[in-house]
Structure 1
Amino acid sequence: MQTFINVVGSLSDFLWGIPMIIVMLLGGSFLIYRTRAWVFKNFGYIWSNTFGKIFKKSEATTAGEKSISPVQAVSTALAGTIGAGNIVGVATAIKLGGPGAIFWLWIAALVNMTTKFAEITLAVATREKNEKDEFSGGPMYYLENGLNMRWLAIMFSVFGAIAILGTGSLVQSNAMANSINTITGIDLRIIGVVIMILMVIIIIGGIKRIGAFAEKIVPLMSVLYLGATIVILVIYRRQLGSALGFIVTDAFKPTAAVGGFAGATVLMTIRHGLARGIFSNEAGLGSAPMAHAAAHTDHPVRQGMWGAIEVFVSSILICTMTALVIICSGLWSDANVDANRLTAASFEKALPVGGEMIVSLGLMFFAFTTLVSWYYYGDKCISYITKSKTIRSIYKAVYIIFSVVGSLGGLKFVWSISDVANALMVIPNFIGLILLSKQLVWLIKDFNKNYKDTGKLGNYNWTFDNHWGAVFNKRKVKETQVFEPYDYDN
């Protein structure tokens, strides 16, 4: 058994090392090329039509009877993104790769903006309506509907359901329980039971309740965390220039040993920075498209824009601001402060009253929203594999039980299996993204010609079956809803 555990651990380390970085960076770069850098060229338009509309009554904040609003969709996806990766993960990258790792985090995030835009756009274009008249979509649907590869879609769903038990349930409940224990000293067993009860209350309500919960919690905690970060950066304002310079210069040269920092080669700096940039925003995993496919939106590209902004907010804004606090504090080179405590210690140094509390609260709430939103992803994977309500109920029970186990410390072996399964979600997802890049370009051209800056809206009830299937030349759609035959190759 120990041999098997060691093999799984080694496989996890290998997959999430250089091979996965290469796959995701090359795949994302290919999508940037195929879309002619549409996300970057239209970033101003994307920002004003996504986050720029959050506080206005518009289609961005409007939900359908059986769907969720784009804001709820992005909040649900951000709930599964922001958390330990942005708070603790950045500290780990700096601790292992030095400040220069953040430069490579930026590079990965810029590539991932197009990757996430692509997977969400394709998820909405290939979504279907289930027996409850609710939208269902994600990589499994564009693999089947777009490429007729149901076997690959099932493989994605199986690995997704396995991975989510670990990364969604065990890891997040563990992070949340430890944060609560740090703040209150309450016994972990009691915390585990409370987490279980709260989670059951929310997930019973389905995606509508999950979206409504995430819409309230994620913006509130993001504002609290970023607000505290801004205050600290104002305190350190005279050091910001040198910190930014440190990030850029150290990206291209070995970082010397300083204090308790052992030093890092350029390769180590690049690896840790790229890895954190890839894993801090979920781009390429195929999880977030499942939430976005449930959105009340008139066009796939319009929803895809929210994906690009998700990456910008979670990786460029939150990760960078966290990194600047850590670098300015000087604690990144302190041997007595490990990666798990580095962010909290850096906040506490600048804000002795409440600094560590803010980080702990942030981790607690972000971990819980991640716990809830990832259950939805797991349920979607199981629902695609089987229509059996019994199996879905069993999966729900296992997910809830794992949340209690995770709060008590969890099973590291299960975490390793989840890491391997996560990697095996990425591979079929990128196969779909690359092979459907032509259809992605068609969707962008349709949006540019008919909806961008025209004031026109598409149909909020369009699915793969009644409209978008014509783009993929897979199914005949009704004559009144046929996708117009534009010359998309020119």
Structure 2
Amino acid sequence: MEAFHNLLKSMDGMLGGAWWFPYVLLGTGLFFTIYLKFPQVRYFKHAWKVVTGKYDKADAPGDTTHFRALTTALSGTVGTGNIGGVAFALFLGGPAALFWMWATAFFGMTTKFVEVTLSHKYRDKTPDGTMAGGPMYYMDKRLNMKWLAVAFAIATVISSFGTGNLPQSNSIATSIEATFGFDPLIVGSVLGILLALVILGGITRIAAVTSKIVPLMALIYIIGAFTVIFANIENVGPAFAAIFSDMFTGSAATGGFLGATIAYAFNKGVNRGLFSNEAGQGSAPIAHAAAKTDEPVAEGMVSILEPFIDTIIICTITGLVILSSGVWKEKHLNTFDRTDMYILAGDYMESNESDRQTLYTYINDVEGHGVTQFTGEIQVVNGKAVSKGFTIFNARSFADNVVFSLGDPDDNYTGTLKVVDGSLLKNNIIVRGESLIHSASLTALAFTKGFFGESGKYIVSIGLLLFAFSTAIAWSYYGDRAMTYLLGPRSVMPYRVVYVAGFVWAAVSDTTLVWTLSAVAIVVMTLPNLFGIFLLRKEMKESVAEYWVKFNKEHK
């Protein structure tokens, strides 16, 4: 499994983690923004009117309303990416990463407009009477590329587990256990039953549930976030200034944060933006295909609102909470994950500017950094390392006050630890110390710096529960529509059973492998979709023109 995981990491490095991927993603959005003359700006007001049902037709084909299709799609995008993904982007790239998330969202509004319109246009009515749509349908019916459609559908099924199911369940269980002390298996089992009750009812029940969860979760989260922002209001201005100034210079070292180059912030900001709003990935068009309308362009306009709500509003609020509280650049006591911890060869000192610069080049993937992983033995007495020749580096920062134990914090280890290529060989050793933290843990800590104090972390736990659970609901629908395309309606029920079982299992499992698999699957979804909508660019422009001609005739 470790070899397979390393293979997936290599594939991710050549795909989503490669230097060219952000340019392809942003470039497609930029092209369509210019080609369609900034539809995300010109049609923004009209999109709100459509989603409120002002132009609805009672006899229009479909399974659900514009609003419910929007909330279903939003429930798939508004999730751990908004809580943990923003924190991870800032942890990696500093304040400038938030700017690139905004850029991804702004151009992504157009990308989503195009992909949803084309997918809705070529949707199918299945034998059971429900609508099925998504990029696989325009790839098959319009482009005559069955092989591409099949590859996209398979990637969607994989992503439904890797993005919408297993990591969401694991995140919920971990957060609830840390905050309330509930057993992860119990949490996973209870939520698994609730998940089954929702998704077994199909799109009608899914849309009904998400239309209630999405507004509620957004309200709870935003209120909690503003208690932190207002408590640290004097830091909001400097936070915005850092976002824009760092865009041109990269983020300088501050506190335990060693800094980030422009290129690194750009890459990580764009990648986290895609993970958050999924613009270009081809997932949201599957939800929008169920909307009751005979005007694909109208549904495409509804989707313009998604990246705006998801990234420009919710992710910005999360970013301001983290930046204004200052926790993103501070070291905190935590247990080191093996995937975050590296033992480097050499005695580097954080107080030494030359050493800091060397490690800065290392964490930003700058060629010629000269840093190597430590291989050898570490002598430990009562939990403390007493030998020399290595540096413990955790979460992209120098680790302080490191203690090795056998599980219990008071059961300090004494003996010899073997290290190969920067990794400890003993799996039962727990390593604790002070370092930077990231993801949902960073956001939860930031929420304690507001008017609610320590109680603020409960808002993140509840928000994460609602966000992640709604994401699992939406992605179950994406997966079952992909299964419908691949194997027909009869395959949907077995898929749903496996989906629920996976959700329960993931609550008590390590999903690192799944996250990496998902990262690869996301790109396998995104690249064919971007390629497909580019081939249909002329048809898209013609469809928009025809829509406005018809609309103006009907609404004089």
TM range (shorter): 0.7 to 0.9
Number of aligned residues: 450
Please show how residues 365-404 of structure 1 align to structure 2 within 5 Å.
365-387=466-488, 389=490, 391-404=491-504
Q: Using the alignment, how far apart are the partners of 2:545 and 2:141 within structure 1?
A: 21
SS in 2 for 1:217: helix
- Work out whether residues 181 and 187 of structure 1, in 8 Å CA contact, stay in contact via their aligned partners in 2: yes
Q: Does 1:213 align with 2:213?
A: no
Q: Deviations over 1:421-467 (max 9, x none)?
A: 221111211121101111111111012222159528xxxxxxxxxxx
Change (3 A) 1:288 1:331: same
How far apart are 1:331 and its partner, in Å?
Answer: 1.0
Q: Using the alignment, how far apart are the partners of 2:292 and 2:103 within structure 1?
A: 32
Q: Does 1:298 align with 2:294?
A: yes
Partner of 1:438: 538
Change (3 A) 1:259 1:291: same
Partner of 1:285: 281
How far apart are 1:30 and its partner, in Å?
Answer: 1.9
Please show how residues 161-310 of structure 1 align to structure 2 within 5 Å.
161-310=157-306
Greater helix share, 1 or 2? 1
In the alignment, residue 37 of structure 1 is paired with which amino acid? F
Partner of 1:361: 462
Q: Does 1:117 align with 2:135?
A: no
Partner of 1:482: none
Partner of 2:512: 412
Change (3 A) 1:324 1:153: same
Q: Using the alignment, how far apart are the partners of 2:530 and 2:448 within structure 1?
A: 41
Q: Does 1:14 align with 2:14?
A: yes
Partner of 2:437: 338
How far apart are 1:186 and its partner, in Å?
Answer: 1.3
| TM-score (norm: length of structure 1) | 0.87
Partner of 2:430: none
Change (3 A) 1:442 1:179: same
How far apart are 1:28 and its partner, in Å?
Answer: 1.6
How far apart are 1:59 and its partner, in Å?
Answer: 5.1
Change (3 A) 1:44 1:64: closer
Q: Using the alignment, how far apart are the partners of 2:271 and 2:72 within structure 1?
A: 23
Structure 1 unaligned segments of length 5 or more: list them: 457-490
In the alignment, residue 146 of structure 2 is paired with which amino acid? R
Q: Deviations over 1:158-202 (max 9, x none)?
A: 121122122121111111212222332111111121121111111
Partner of 1:5: 5
Q: Deviations over 1:62-112 (max 9, x none)?
A: 897961111111111111101111111111111111111111111111111
Q: Using the alignment, how far apart are the partners of 2:101 and 2:203 within structure 1?
A: 31
- Work out whether residues 43 and 301 of structure 2, in 8 Å CA contact, stay in contact via their aligned partners in 1: no
Structure 2 unaligned segments of length 5 or more: list them: 333-435
Greater strand share, 1 or 2? 2
Aligned residue among 150, 154, 162 for 1:154: 150
Change (3 A) 1:146 1:66: closer
Partner of 1:43: 44
Q: Does 1:32 align with 2:33?
A: yes
How far apart are 1:297 and its partner, in Å?
Answer: 2.0
159-168 vs 323-332, which deviates more?
159-168
Aligned residue among 518, 524, 548 for 1:424: 524
Please show how residues 78-97 of structure 1 align to structure 2 within 5 Å.
78-97=74-93
How far apart are 1:417 and its partner, in Å?
Answer: 2.2
How far apart are 1:318 and its partner, in Å?
Answer: 0.7
Change (3 A) 1:239 1:85: same
SS in 2 for 1:264: coil
How far apart are 1:24 and its partner, in Å?
Answer: 1.1
**Higher relative CO (CA 8 A, sep ≥ 6), structure 1 or 2?**
1
Q: Using the alignment, how far apart are the partners of 2:216 and 2:446 within structure 1?
A: 22
Q: Using the alignment, how far apart are the partners of 1:317 and 1:433 within structure 2?
A: 27
How far apart are 1:306 and its partner, in Å?
Answer: 1.7
CA RMSD, Structure 1 to Structure 2 (Å)? 2.0
Q: Using the alignment, how far apart are the partners of 2:239 and 2:553 within structure 1?
A: 40
Q: Using the alignment, how far apart are the partners of 1:396 and 1:234 within structure 2?
A: 44
Partner of 1:68: 64
Q: Using the alignment, how far apart are the partners of 2:185 and 2:232 within structure 1?
A: 40
Change (3 A) 1:296 1:84: same
Change (3 A) 1:417 1:358: same
- Work out whether residues 174 and 409 of structure 1, in 8 Å CA contact, stay in contact via their aligned partners in 2: yes
Q: Deviations over 1:117-148 (max 9, x none)?
A: 11111111111211122221110111112212
Q: Using the alignment, how far apart are the partners of 1:411 and 1:197 within structure 2?
A: 21
- Work out whether residues 62 and 69 of structure 1, in 8 Å CA contact, stay in contact via their aligned partners in 2: no
- Work out whether residues 128 and 489 of structure 2, in 8 Å CA contact, stay in contact via their aligned partners in 1: no
Partner of 2:427: none
In the alignment, residue 226 of structure 1 is paired with which amino acid? I
Change (3 A) 1:388 1:88: closer
Q: Deviations over 1:192-227 (max 9, x none)?
A: 211211111111100000000000000111011112
Q: Which runs of 4+ in 1 moved over 6 A?
A: 60-65
Change (3 A) 1:66 1:264: closer
In the alignment, residue 96 of structure 2 is paired with which amino acid? G
Q: Deviations over 1:19-38 (max 9, x none)?
A: 32122112222222321222
In the alignment, residue 462 of structure 2 is paired with which amino acid? L
SS in 2 for 1:96: helix
